[in-house]
Structure 1
Amino acid sequence: MQFDFTPVITYFPTLLSGIGVMLMIAVTVAFFSIVGGLVIAVITLYTNKVVSWPLRFFIWLFMTTPLLLQLYFLYFGLGDLILIPAIVVGILGLGFHYMAYNADIFTATISSVSDGQYEASRSLGFGHWRTIFYIIVPQAFIRSVPQLGNNMILMVKDTSVLSAIGVAELVYASQYAISVTFRPFEFFIAIAVIYYLLNIAMELGQAWFERRTAYRR
């Protein structure tokens, strides 16, 4: 079999549009899942069981079911009730999925902060919630950076699953190009290289951020 990457060059603008959509989704999901995961972790740890147990069930549900099944449920289930664009479903599906994992990470790192810091803060006149948000949470966030970074790298690769519901990210864009050119292997190789380069860039960024925050742990 002889490879010909000329079609990849010809349709590279199509791939670029897919990369743009993928990165937009990834940034939105990263913010949504990290902030949401932190809020869920704080609520589950510092509120009563009436509030915390439904959130614990949410974490369990999204961590024990496949991402694709969750996307199908949101896309086809909500689609019967309201008209919702596929890209919004994709952001919500990925966001909830990784929010559950991030909440689990934050729960562990918040619990790892010593009780003595909470008691010392209260003795200095800080209130309960001020102690949590100004003393406990910042330390927990720094400790969670390695795990969060790994999750976000996985999340960027999981954006490819959104092609199953018609979101025009990188894999979906390549499928269109393949349907026109009939050169699947060349495009599969090209998008694999793109994901590889993005993965390296994110790993380097994570390593840099970890070095900058290491002294605060």
Structure 2
Amino acid sequence: MEFDFSPVITYFPTLIKGIGATLLIGLVVAIMSIIGGQIVAVITLYTRKIVNWPLRLLIWLFMTTPLLLQLYFLYFGIGQWILIPAIAVGVLGLGFHYMAYNADIFIATIKSVSSGQYEASRSLGFSHIATIFYIILPQALYRATPQLGNNMIIMVKDISVLSAIGIAELVYLSQYAISVTFRPFEFYITIAVIYYLINVLMEIGQSWIERRAAYRR
């Protein structure tokens, strides 16, 4: 069997579009899941059981069911009653999935912040809400940085699952090119290298953020 990467070169502009779509989806999902995870964690920890127990149940459901099943449920299940664009399903599905994991991380890191800091802040005149958002959450975010970074690296790879509902990210566009050129091995090798490079760059960025977070502590 001879390798021929010339079709990869021909369709490389198509792969570039897929890379752009993957990174854009990843950025939106990262922002949504980190901010949403903080909000869910705060509501879970600082509200009554009648409010936080449904949230705990949702976290448990998202963490114990496969991502692909969640996407199918949103796209084909809820889609029977509400017409939802595939890209919206993909972003929301990934966002909620990783929001649950990030919320679980934030719950642990918020609990790890000394209760004495909460009491000291209140004694200085900060309100309950101000203490949470200006004193507790920043420290919880710094402590959660390594785990959040790992989650985001996994999330970028999970974007490939969105090809199952027709979203034109890197894997989906690669499959289109393969259907035209009949050179699957060359394209799969290429996208594997691309994902590897993205992971390396993200790990470098994560290390930089962790050093900054450690410095600010």
Q: TM-score w.r.t. structure 2 length? A: 0.99
Q: How does 1:43-192 map to 2 (within 5 A)?
A: 43-192=43-192
Shift of 1:215: 2.5
Superposed displacement of residue 210, structure 1: 0.7
- Aligned-residue Cα RMSD (Å) equals 0.6
Q: Secondary structure at the match of 2:24?
A: helix
Partners of 1:145 and 1:201 lie apart in 2 by 16
Per-residue deviation, 1:155: 0.3
**Which 4+ stretches in 1 moved above 6 angstroms?**
none
How far, CA to CA, are the matches of 2:4 and 2:19 in structure 1? 22
Mind listing any 5+ residue stretches in structure 2 that lack a counterpart?
none
1:140 Cα deviation from its structure 2 partner: 0.3
Distance 2:129 2:84 in 1: 37
Distance 2:127 2:10 in 1: 61
Residue 194 (structure 1) aligns with:
194
For 2:76 and 2:196, the matched residues in 1 are separated by: 32
Contact 1:139-1:216 at 8 Å conserved across structures: no
CA distance in 2, matches of 1:103, 1:66: 18
Q: How many residues align?
A: 217
Distance 2:41 2:199 in 1: 28
Q: Note the 1:11-30 alignment, pairs <5 A.
A: 11-30=11-30
Q: Is the 8 A contact 1:174 1:187 kept in 2?
A: yes
Gaps of 5+ in 1: none
Q: CA deviation at 1:216?
A: 2.9
| Whole-Å separation in 2 of the counterparts to 1:163 and 1:135 | 41
Following TM superposition, by how much is the alpha carbon of 1:38 offset from its aligned partner in structure 2, in angstroms? 0.4
Percent identity over the alignment is: 77
Q: 3-state SS of the aligned residue for 1:3?
A: coil
Question: Could you tell me how far apart the structure 2 residues matched to 1:40 and 1:174 are?
Answer: 36
Q: SS at 1:144's partner residue?
A: helix
Distance 2:126 2:10 in 1: 62
Instruction: Please give the alpha-carbon distance, in whole angstroms, between the structure 2 residues aligned to 1:212 and 1:36.
Output: 23
User: What is the CA–CA distance in structure 2 between the aligned matches of 1:213 and 1:40, rounded to whole Å?
Assistant: 22
Kindly provide the CA deviation profile for residues 129-186 of structure 1, in whole angstroms up to 9, marking residues without a partner as x: 1111110000000110000000000000000000001000000000000000000000
Structure 2 counterpart of 1:205: 205
Quote the Cα distance in structure 2 between the aligned partners of 1:168 and 1:111: 40
| Superposed CA offset, 1:40-89 (max 9, x none) | 00000000001100100010000000000000000001210111111110
Alpha-carbon distance between aligned partners in 2 of 1:125 and 1:170, rounded to the nearest angstrom: 52
Q: Which amino acid aligns with 1:65?
A: T
Question: 1:1-37 CA distances to partner (integer Å, 9 max, x unpaired)?
Answer: 1111000000001111111111111011001111100
AA in 2 matched with 1:130 = A
Taking structure 1 as the reference length, the TM-score comes to 0.99
